[in-house]
Amino acid sequence: MATTLPKPPKTVDLHAEAFLGNLDIYETDELLAESLELMREMLDAAIYWDYTEIRFIHGKGKGVLRQAVYEELAFYKQNDAIASYHPSYHNEDIVVVHIGL
């Protein structure tokens, strides 16, 4: 039987408090790793479901999550898994990822 990925939402909040329970049990680097893992899972699922784009909310803060997200997206772009990515024109706390042309 083939495995199918669940359809991801069109916009994904990468802030740990949006998808994790007790944040007190995590170290800061673990929270970042969890956010990046969620981003990868949602992006891979969006690619699987032939989405044309998906949005990730990384927020402002100190910019650590934003920087990590952009580094990860650069890897996806280098490997031709996505077409492009850029800050949202309406809210720079969100990155818009274009998957297909």
Structural domain includes residue 85: yes
Q: What are the structure tokens assigned to 92, written together?
A: 């720079």
* 1: confidence class by pLDDT, cuts 50, 70, 90: very low
Structural domain includes residue 2: no
Q: Assign residue 27 the CATH number of its domain.
A: 3.30.1370.110
Which tens digit of pLDDT belongs to each residue from 29-87? 999 999 999 999 999 999 999 999 999 999 887 889 999 999 999 999 999 999 999 99
8 A C-beta contact, residue 101 and residue 60: no
Q: What pLDDT was estimated at residue 54? A: 97
Long-range contacts: 12-21, Cβ < 8 Å, 24+?
Answer: 12/38, 12/39, 12/42, 12/54, 12/55, 12/56, 12/57, 13/57, 14/38, 14/39, 14/56, 14/57, 14/58, 14/59, 14/65, 14/69, 15/57, 15/59, 15/65
Who wins on pLDDT, 54 or 3?
Answer: 54
Structural domain includes residue 80: yes
The total of structural domains in the chain comes to 1
Q: Residue 54 belongs to what domain range?
A: 11-98
Q: Tokens 């408090």 label which residue?
A: 17
The whole model's pTM is what? 0.90
